Chains A and B, each alone.
Chain A
């Protein structure tokens, strides 16, 4: 299978539903170590993305680019530029939407998020879910299905491994040692994104 316009639309529709369902959880996680707005912000942005009609776009790249711009324009906070940059870079590298294309897109998305947020693995951010997901995708080999399944598992593992860490970037870093032992909201929403990809794209 490939990531084409239809499957990209299904992916983001599923993610919007996941974000809506988990908005209170995300805001609650953010209340503990941030400023209590991650769920409501992402929900506002993904509602706007879900309102896009895939029929208005020529291909997955054009659609995903618009999704990125929509997030930049509606979310605000740190998540807006970070998720927006992720999708803009992802769209730019997707190529044919085959396994190699999706792998390159994920890697480009990760690089974009690192660059925009000036964060690295271990800073207790969304990168702690995204980076292991990209590594697992690349290690998993030829099939998009296996690669995405491995990526989703790695994202969830990365999210959980970030929980005991002390935050070094973002709002949570102001808490210093008190940020340890709290699940990171950004790593949580990023895990939902990769899990959504695995759920909607695998087996299509």
Chain B
């Protein structure tokens, strides 16, 4: 394992010191609880937005803390969900009197820890907490016999859109409605060219031959549904977009599309892939109204990418265009 680290056990703590040093004007960090706050939290009268999960997905979620997006991000160990204490601390800290929304990705650990935090917050009284669990990954069969679809790329779009709605001063019910609409109308699919190495594990999570790729991955270095032979970009784009389009109808409405890198793929390849994706969408009569191309929800140094599509409408596009000022996403301000 070759990594720029001190001790595998200190990766998250050391990174948090760097994040604080890089953005002292916008963020503050509770090093004890490992929570990143926007500098001016709590914002009086605004619904508080908290997300979080394992570390290793940067810029998500800490990089999306700031005006127009999250109020706080709870940072777990690498690929390990945070613990209820962190969410409890963050919930109390960001409540500006309008309640708090927990944005949770559908992974067993994240769901259970946020659930315990919400139970504890209810017992502790005072703060009204609602939750949205994102589950946009079409690679996972959603049935009684799996943990359900994973929450992946749509989480990024949701944090932006719900962040704008909260910033406008909408109440908790209205903010929750936007969250449900975004999750319900969004789908993702990912692939990997290489594994990543979790620092505490010290070796790659899975092996892939030079001529192989893993299709249907999540964001934790866990293998996907199947290994396939490596193919040209245009074929990989089709293998990602087709399952999305066959799962949900994206015709007849503007789409927001994210071509996301898993951490180890250069932008030239992501732009190349985005070009291939738009070609497929154009041929299907789907108009892309807004897009993101870059590393937004990553898996350490994994090479690969994911495509996320959201069926939008005028209201969602307006929320999308609203100002946002975070380390990972910034426009209109």
Which residues from chain A sit less than 8 Å from chain B, CB to CB?
27-28, 31, 34-37, 40-41, 44, 72-82, 116-117, 168-171, 173-176, 178
Contacts and interface: CB of A to CB of B under 8 A. Distances in A.
Nearest to B82: A76
A117 to B, nearest CB: 7
B201 A80 contact: no
B205 interface: yes
A74 B83 contact: yes
Interface of B: 8-9, 54, 76-85, 107-109, 112-113, 115-116, 139-141, 145-147, 150, 198, 200-201, 203, 205-206, 218, 220-226
Contacts of B150: 174
Given A73-B84, A169-B147, A36 B113 contact: no
A178 to B, nearest CB: 7
Given A27-B201, A35-B198, A168 B146 contact: yes
Contacts of A41: 77, 80
> What is the predominant secondary structure among interface residues of chain B facing chain A?
loop
Given A80-B113, A171-B220, A174-B140, A36 B108 contact: no
A48 to B, nearest CB: 11
Contacts of B145: 168, 173
> What is the predominant secondary structure among interface residues of chain A facing chain B?
helix
Contacts of A168: 145-146
Contact of A78 (B82, B109, B198, B206): B109
A117 B139 CA distance: 22
A81 B115 CA distance: 10
A31 B196 CA distance: 11
22 contacts: A31-B206, A37-B79, A37-B80, A72-B83, A72-B84, A73-B83, A73-B85, A76-B81, A76-B82, A77-B80, A78-B112, A79-B109, A80-B112, A81-B115, A81-B116, A117-B108, A169-B147, A171-B108, A171-B222, A174-B140, A175-B225, A176-B146
A35 B222 contact: yes
A37 B200 contact: yes
Contact of B112 (A37, A73, A74, A116): A116
A44 B76 CA distance: 13
Contacts of A81: 84, 109, 112-113, 115-116
Contact of A178 (B54, B84, B112, B223): B223
B80 A76 contact: yes
B146 A174 contact: yes
Nearest to B150: A174
Contacts of B198: 35-37
Nearest to B201: A36
Given A27-B200, A81-B113, A175 B223 contact: yes
A40 B201 contact: yes
Nearest to B139: A174
Contacts of A175: 222-223, 225
